[in-house]
C-alpha cells in the first residue's frame, strides 16, 4: 500500500510576483497586489502557493539573483507585507512555499563583495575561484570549457586576483562553494529564518547543481560549432549532492516543511530516486524537464537547443510520462506534475493550439492530461485561464529576459543573417521564458487590470477576450474546468491521487489515454491532441457502465468506436 501524505494530496499555484498584480501604480507586480487576489487563488481549489523570488535583488535574472536573503526587494514591498501574506494565506487554509535560490547568489550579495575584494577575504572560498589556463600560444583562458546557461563561458575573470569565478548562469550570479561547510550552515540559517516566520516549505532552484566535480574537467564537445560546451554531467548530480540534500532534509523535517527541487539535466534516474524516495529524508518531489525539452534540439546546448526547432510525436510524450509515473510508483517516490512555469512557453500555445476556435477546449484538454496524473499538480499563474504566448508579431525589442536576449544579441554580434535571426525569433515566440512573464490578465480594462500604468512588460493584446474577470463566474471557462479538476481529485482521492497509473492504447499517435486504478475503482482519462476529429476504439474492458466525471464537450456516454472532436478530453469513472 502506498504511503499517504498531505503533500501528495496538495496542488500548487505558482506566482511570479513581478507579473501578478501591481497595487501601487508603478507598473510592477508586488506583494500587496497578491494580497488583493487571495480569494481568487483560494477559489481555484489549490492548497499551496509557490511564490517566485521576492528578495532584495538587482533583478538581472528577475530575482533569481539574490543580494539579501532576509529582506524584500523594495519594488515588491516589505518584510511585514510577507508576514501579512503568510497570514492571509493561512487564514484561507493555504500554505506558502518560497523559492530557495542557493546554488548562486547575486554578485551584489555582501558575501560575494567580500569574496572578490581580496584573496585573503574570509569569504573568498564561499565561491568557486580557479586559476586561468593558458593556450599553446600563451593566451589566457578560463579554467575549463563549460558553457553558462545564459551564454558564453561559465567563468568570469577577475583582474585583481588573476583568478576566475564560476557562474553557471549570468556572470552576476556567482556559484556558491558548497564544499565549504560555512556556506552550508549559512543556507540552513536562511531556511530556518523563513520557516520560523511561518512559510511552509521551499521550491529549490537548480538544487541538483550544488555539488560540482571538484576536478572541473573539460566537457566533451557535443556541438563543434561553438567554443563552450555543457558541463552538466559534472554538476547535475555531483558527488556530494545527496549528502547536501540530507542536510537540507533535516531542517525540512524539523518543521514538517514541503519541498520540491528543480532538477534539470539529470541523466541517471537512480540519482533522482535517492532524492525523492519516501524514506530518504531529502526532498518530497522534483521537477524534471524531459517534457519541456521535447521541442528542444538535443544536439545543441542550453539556449541554442531551446531556440532550434524540433518536431515531436505523441508517443515520445507518452514514453516520458509513463517513465516518470511508473518509476515513482515502483520506487516509492512522488511526481511533481507540470507543463508551465516562469521559464517556459504557455502550454496551450506550445503543446496544443491557441487559435481562437479551439483554444478553450485545447486548454481544457491539457488540464485533463495533466490534472489526473499521479503526483502533485503545479499550475502557473494564467495557465488556469488558458493564457497564450506572446503575439507572433512581437519583435525582439519587446522581450525582457536575459536568457533569450543574450542568445539573440550574441547572434547579432557574430553577424548572423536576418534569416537566422528571424528563425530564432520564431522559436522564441514558442519557447522563450518571457511567454510566461507578461502581466497576468485580470480584466478587459486598459493594462488588463494588472496596473493603472503601462506595465514593465507589455501585456498580451488578447486580454480583452482572455482574462480572469470573464472566467471566474462562467461555468464553461478554463478556470471553472480547473476548479473541477481539483474538486474531483479531492472527491475521488483514492483513485485520482493514490491510484496506479498506466497508459492505455500506448502506441496511438493522436490520443493520449491512461487509467488510474485503486482497488476496484478505475478512472479512464482520454485526451485527443488532434485539431480534427479522430476515431478511437474504446478498449473492451471500458465498455461498461460508468460515470462521466468531466468532459470538455458534452459527452455523456462512451461505447464502441468514439469519434473524438478536436482536442476532446474526458474522465470516465468505471463503476
Catalytic residues: 205, 262
Cβ(572)–Cβ(542) below 8 Å: yes
Residue closer to ligand TEU (CB basis): 101 or 321: 101
**Site mask, ligand TEU, residues 427-466, x = CB under 6 A?**
----------------------------------------
Contacted entry of Ca ion, ligand TEU, none for residue 64, CB cut-off 5 to 8 Å set by kind = ligand TEU
Hey, what's the cell of 359? Answer: 483554444
Residue closer to ligand TEU (CB basis): 295 or 522: 295
Candidate segments 29-37, 361-369, 438-446, 477-485, binder of Ca ion by CB under 5 A? 29-37
Q: Among 175, 292, 340, 434, which residue interacts with ligand TEU (rule: CB under 6 A)?
A: 292
Candidate segments 26-34, 45-53, 397-405, 526-534, binder of Ca ion by CB under 5 A? 26-34
Q: Among 12, 15, 28, 41, which residue interacts with Ca ion (rule: CB under 5 A)?
A: 28
Work out whether 289 is an interface residue with ligand TEU (CB under 6 A).
yes
- Which residue do the cell numbers 499563474 mark? 381
What distance in Å separates the CA atoms of residue 555 and residue 552, rounded to the nearest whole number? 8
Rg from Cα positions in the chain: 24
Beta bridge partners of 140: 134
| Sheet of 511-518, strand order | 500-504, 511-518, 521-528, 569-574, 546-551
Ramachandran class of 42: left when φ > 0, alpha when ψ lies in -120 to 50, beta otherwise: alpha
**Site mask, ligand TEU, residues 242-281, x = CB under 6 A?**
--------------------x-x-----------------
Q: Smallest distance from the beta carbon of 60 to Ca ion, in angstroms?
A: 19
Question: What ranges make up the beta strands (E) of 245-375?
Answer: 258-262, 285-287, 336-337
What is the 8-class DSSP label of residue 140? E
Contacted entry of ligand TEU, Ca ion, none for residue 26, CB cut-off 5 to 8 Å set by kind = Ca ion
Cβ(444)–Cβ(470) below 8 Å: yes
Work out whether 295 is an interface residue with ligand TEU (CB under 6 A).
no
What distance in Å separates the CA atoms of residue 450 and residue 27, rounded to the nearest whole number? 8
- Which residue do the cell numbers 482521492 mark? 493
What distance in Å separates the CA atoms of residue 292 and residue 343, rounded to the nearest whole number? 10
Contacted entry of ligand TEU, Ca ion, none for residue 292, CB cut-off 5 to 8 Å set by kind = ligand TEU
Residue closer to ligand TEU (CB basis): 45 or 53: 53
Half-sphere exposure (CA, 13 Å, Cβ side) for 68? 8
Work out whether 101 is an interface residue with ligand TEU (CB under 6 A).
yes
Cβ(484)–Cβ(550) below 8 Å: yes
CA-to-CA separations, 15 to 29, 52, 157, 387, 536, in angstroms, rounded: 10, 6, 36, 14, 38
What distance in Å separates the CA atoms of residue 60 and residue 66, rounded to the nearest whole number? 10
Torsion angle in degrees (nearest 10) through CA of 109, 110, 115, 120? 180
Contacted entry of ligand TEU, Ca ion, none for residue 206, CB cut-off 5 to 8 Å set by kind = ligand TEU
Q: Which of residues 307-346 bind ligand TEU (CB under 6 A)?
A: 342-343
* Among the listed residues 7, 534, 526, the one whose alpha carbon sits nearest the alpha carbon of residue 253: 7
Q: Which of residues 30-59 bind Ca ion (CB under 5 A)?
A: 30
Residues 6+ apart with CB under 8 A from 413: none
Q: Which of residues 344-383 bind Ca ion (CB under 5 A)?
A: none
**Site mask, ligand TEU, residues 32-61, x = CB under 6 A?**
-----------------------------x
Q: Smallest distance from the beta carbon of 27 to Ca ion, in angstroms?
A: 7
Q: Which of residues 143-162 bind ligand TEU (CB under 6 A)?
A: 149
Q: Among 9, 26, 71, 322, which residue interacts with Ca ion (rule: CB under 5 A)?
A: 26
Q: Smallest distance from the beta carbon of 167 to ligand TEU, in angstroms?
A: 10
**Site mask, ligand TEU, residues 198-227, x = CB under 6 A?**
-------xx---------------------
Please report how the helices 79-91 and 181-197 are oriented relative to each other, as an axis angle in degrees rounded to 10: 60
Contacted entry of ligand TEU, Ca ion, none for residue 172, CB cut-off 5 to 8 Å set by kind = none
Half-sphere exposure (CA, 13 Å, Cβ side) for 427? 22
CA angle 397, 101, 346 (to 5 degrees): 45
Q: Smallest distance from the beta carbon of 416 to Ca ion, in angstroms?
A: 37
Work out whether 78 is an interface residue with Ca ion (CB under 5 A).
no
Residue closer to ligand TEU (CB basis): 174 or 449: 174
Q: Among 13, 14, 18, 22, which residue interacts with Ca ion (rule: CB under 5 A)?
A: 22
Q: Smallest distance from the beta carbon of 124 to ligand TEU, in angstroms?
A: 23
Q: Positive or negative CA dihedral for 434, 438, 440, 443?
A: negative
CA 179 to chain centroid, in Å, comes to 27
Binding site for Ca ion (CB under 5 A): 22, 24, 26, 28, 30
Binding site for ligand TEU (CB under 6 A): 61, 64, 101, 149, 169, 205-206, 262, 264, 289, 292, 342-343
Amino acid at each position: 500500500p502506498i504511503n499517504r501524505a498531505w503533500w501528495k494530496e496538495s496542488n500548487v499555484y505558482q506566482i511570479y510576483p513581478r507579473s501578478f498584480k501591481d497595487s501601487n501604480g508603478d507598473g510592477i507586480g508586488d506583494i500587496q497586489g497578491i494580497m488583493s487576489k487571495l480569494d481568487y487563488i483560494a477559489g481555484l481549489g489549490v492548497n499551496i502557493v509557490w511564490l517566485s523570488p521576492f528578495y532584495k535583488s538587482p533583478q538581472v535574472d528577475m530575482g533569481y539573483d539574490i543580494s539579501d536573503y532576509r529582506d524584500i526587494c523594495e519594488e515588491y514591498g516589505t518584510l511585514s507585507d510577507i508576514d501579512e501574506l503568510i497570514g492571509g494565506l493561512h487564514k484561507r487554509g493555504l500554505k506558502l512555499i518560497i523559492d530557495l535560490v542557493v546554488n548562486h547568489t547575486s554578485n551584489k550579495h555582501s558575501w560575494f563583495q567580500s569574496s572578490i575584494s581580496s584573496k585573503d577575504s574570509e569569504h573568498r572560498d564561499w565561491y568557486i575561484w580557479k586559476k586561468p589556463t593558458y593556450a599553446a600560444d600563451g593566451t589566457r583562458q578560463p579554467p575549463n570549457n563549460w558553457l553558462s546557461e545564459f551564454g558564453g563561458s561559465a567563468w568570469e575573470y577577475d583582474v585583481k586576483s588573476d583568478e576566475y569565478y564560476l557562474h553557471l548562469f549570468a556572470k552576476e550570479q556567482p556559484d556558491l562553494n558548497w564544499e565549504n561547510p560555512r556556506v552550508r550552515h549559512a543556507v540552513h540559517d536562511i531556511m530556518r529564518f523563513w520557516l520560523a516566520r511561518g512559510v511552509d516549505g521551499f521550491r529549490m532552484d537548480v538544487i541538483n547543481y550544488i555539488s560540482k566535480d571538484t576536478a572541473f574537467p573539460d566537457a566533451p564537445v557535443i556541438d563543434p560549432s561553438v567554443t563552450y560546451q555543457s558541463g552538466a554531467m559534472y554538476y547535475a548530480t555531483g558527488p556530494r549532492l545527496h549528502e547536501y540534500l540530507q542536510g537540507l532534509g533535516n531542517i525540512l523535517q524539523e518543521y514538517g516543511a514541503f519541498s520540491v527541487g528543480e532538477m534539470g539535466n539529470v541523466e541517471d534516474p537512480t540519482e533522482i530516486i535517492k532524492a525523492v524516495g519516501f524514506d530518504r529524508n531529502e526532498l518530497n518531489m522534483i521537477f524534471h524537464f524531459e517534457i519541456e525539452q521535447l521541442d528542444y534540439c538535443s544536439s545543441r546546448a542550453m539556449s541554442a537547443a531551446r531556440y532550434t526547432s524540433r518536431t515531436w510525436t505523441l508517443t515520445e510524450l507518452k514514453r516520458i510520462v509513463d517513465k516518470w509515473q511508473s518509476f515513482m510508483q515502483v520506487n516509492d517516490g512522488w511526481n511533481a506534475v507540470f507543463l508551465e512555469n516562469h521559464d517556459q512557453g504557455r502550454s496551450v500555445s506550445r503543446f496544443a493550439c491557441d487559435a481562437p476556435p479551439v483554444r478553450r477546449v485545447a486548454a481544457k484538454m491539457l488540464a485533463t492530461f495533466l490534472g489526473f496524473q499521479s503526483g502533485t499538480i503545479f499550475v502557473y499563474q494564467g495557465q488556469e485561464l488558458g493564457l497564450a504566448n506572446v503575439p507572433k508579431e512581437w519583435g525582439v525589442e519587446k522581450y525582457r529576459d536575459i536568457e533569450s536576449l543574450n542568445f539573440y544579441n550574441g547572434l547579432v554580434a557574430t553577424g548572423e543573417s536576418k534569416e537566422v535571426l528571424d528563425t530564432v525569433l520564431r522559436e522564441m515566440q514558442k519557447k522563450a521564458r518571457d511567454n510566461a512573464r507578461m502581466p497576468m490578465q485580470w480584466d478587459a480594462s486598459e493594462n488588463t487590470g494588472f496596473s493603472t500604468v503601462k506595465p514593465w512588460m507589455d501585456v498580451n493584446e488578447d486580454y480583452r477576450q482572455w482574462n480572469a474577470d470573464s472566467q471566474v463566474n462562467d461555468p464553461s471557462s478554463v478556470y471553472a474546468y480547473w476548479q473541477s479538476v481539483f474538486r474531483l481529485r479531492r472527491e475521488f482521492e483514492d483513485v485520482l491521487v493514490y491510484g496506479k497509473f498506466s497508459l492505455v492504447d500506448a502506441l496511438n499517435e493522436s490520443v493520449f489515454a491512461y487509467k488510474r486504478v485503486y482497488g476496484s475503482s478505475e478512472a479512464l482519462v482520454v485526451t485527443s491532441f488532434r485539431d480534427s476529429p479522430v476515431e478511437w476504439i474504446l478498449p473492451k474492458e471500458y465498455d461498461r457502465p460508468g460515470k462521466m466525471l468531466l468532459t470538455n464537450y458534452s459527452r455523456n456516454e462512451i461505447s464502441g468506436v468514439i469519434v473524438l472532436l478536436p482536442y476532446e478530453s474526458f474522465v470516465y469513472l468505471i463503476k
